[in-house]
Amino acid sequence: MFHSIKAKVITIFSLVMIAFTSVLLLTIFINERDRVLDLALENSTKISKMHANLLSQEFARYVVMLKMLSNNPNTKLGDKPTIARQLKRLMTMGRGNFINAIYVDKNLNLTDVLGNTNKVTHPSFMRAEQWVGKQYNISVPVITRFEKTPVIMVGVPILDTQNNWMGTLAVAVPLTIISAKLAEIKLAKESYAWLTDSNGLMVSHPNKSFIMKNKLSMTENADYPGFYKIVRQTKLQNDGYGRYMDATLNESKIVTFSKVDYLPGWTLFVTTKESEIFHDIYTIMYDVLVTSIILMVIFLLLISELSNRITKPIVQLTKDVKASVKDKKSYLKIIDSDDEIGQLSKAFHDSLQKIHSHTTHLEQMVNHRTQEITDKNLLLNQQNEKLEQLASKDPLTLLYNRRAFSALVDKEISRAKRHHFPITLVILDIDHFKKINDEFGHNVGDDILCRFADELSLNMRKENLICRWGGEEFVILIPEATSTMVFKHIEEVRQKISQMSFSPVEKLTFSAGIATLRVEEPFKEWFQRADSALYQAKGAGRNCIITD
């Protein structure tokens, strides 16, 4: 059988083609499968981290809202109308993310935005001593008397000037909001995101029967073999990935996870079917296999007559194909022939082109995802800047608030000492402002405050720091100016404002106290001197300025 050259060529050719096709498919499978898996895991991990950061920033935004409103002086005094307005404002600022807003006083009496009242008994509400050293608290999901569905309670303490606990301001975030946000996370068609709290309880999952019922386990589960290893990873790492078998569906799945920084102990998972990740490469490999088998049959039928002509092209073709498989930049040259060798060459060329094209497409998709993450980070930075502005500005007059002014004044004092120039403090108080509120109402009073603040801003240099200290009291820090220089300017402002129209108020005046910083004088003593000068101005009949 093997004595003829033709028989030997046919036999050898058959063995070579079988080996070649097997090597080609195996090489494609090993190289491309690992590459696709690495790209998918990298992409999924980035998506997990990105959305964990977004979820963390979302809860950080809630805490900033609560802190901003908890600093209201009337809220600290337990003024019920103010508290009712603050609760309604929280619901508006939440943009539909809150199902309720509540206030708890120091006697554990609870009032919600709808006016419902109750005595706090649930252990998730922190008491006085529990707030020591904590700026906020985010509870695990609970079911309260007012909310019939599971909610996450986000709360901040209300503290007096001695940092004693006076109450709690909180909002209730329903789990349905979290689930809606996680439903938008997609890696592949069949992928999904889910969330567990610090106790390992599932608080969000596409399968609603799991929510508030299933907990993560560090022991083997017959329905999900291998998943316990991923759970153990979550105890040791902030992010990672793993594989497990879903025995209920007889499918292999890949999971990536990332910790949510602002929710200690909470973990975000993204689950994807392994078959989804490798679907395209399996299709290409099947096409290559079918094409190879068809071409091999055709070549075997014609080899007896074409053995002498095809020996040399086959050798060259084998070399070119191997080179193209190893290096995607090395394209397979099509043999210029109308016979089966030419067809085989073209078929391999087209198949490898598809494989290279698919690989390039995957790389472009990863680059696109990377750009999306960059854009999300830019958006997060912009949102953080907006939050910082909200935390530092008075919401009514848009001047610096007391907290921001206290932070900036230290920098200005250090600068003045370093460059040896004077710095002066002015404290202003609108005369008879309570009478304006009583006679015309708080809306008119707020309008007067805004117009007064605008006038102060128009008449001050941009280097000056203007702050609404509280109520109708304003503080101005003027660098590179002595009391004499400041007195002259503030007197001009006082005369100007007293002649302006602040309808419906017949006439608006203010009193002011001025003090220049002394050598090595603490800010508290400096402020007290300016405040004492203000009270002297009030005692002198108001509508005047006193310099210390």
Q: Which amino acid is at 338?
A: D
Compute CA distances 29 → 216, 272, 325, whole Å.
Answer: 34, 20, 11
DSSP E strands in 28-150: the ranges are 100-105, 109-112, 117-119, 137-138
Is 472 annotated in the active site? yes
β-partners of residue 468 are 474
H helical segments located in 393-482: 402-419, 433-440, 442-458
Q: Which helix (H) or strand (E) holds 428?
A: strand 423-430
Spatial distance between the Cα atoms of 285 and 344, rounded to a whole number of angstroms = 16
- Residue 149 has which token pair? 């569905």
Spatial distance between the Cα atoms of 314 and 332, rounded to a whole number of angstroms = 13
Q: Which amino acid is at 111?
A: T
- Residue 544 has which token pair? 């005047």
As a three-state string, the secondary structure of 276-335 is HHCHHHHHHHHHHHHHHHHHHHHHHHHHHHHHHHHHHHHHHHHHHHHHHHHCCCCCCCCC
As a three-state string, the secondary structure of 37-65 is HHHHHHHHHHHHHHHHHHHHHHHHHHHHH
Best CA proximity match to 69, nearest among 98, 43, 109:
98
Q: How many helices (H) and strands (E) does the chain have?
A: 13, 16
Find how far residue 249's CA is from the centre of its chain.
34
Catalytic position from the list 42, 58, 472, 525: 472
Quote the DSSP letter at residue 139.
Answer: P
As a three-state string, the secondary structure of 173-191 is EEHHHHHHHHCCCCCCCCC
> String of b and e for 191-220 (b: at least 16 CB within 10 Å)?
bbbbbbbeebbbbbbeeeeebbeeebeeee
Spatial distance between the Cα atoms of 388 and 412, rounded to a whole number of angstroms = 20
List Cβ neighbours of 181 (8 Å cut-off, separation of 6 or more). 54, 55, 58
CA atoms lying within 13 Å on the CB side of residue 101:
25
CB–CB of 374/53 below 8 Å? no
**Residues involved in catalysis:** 472
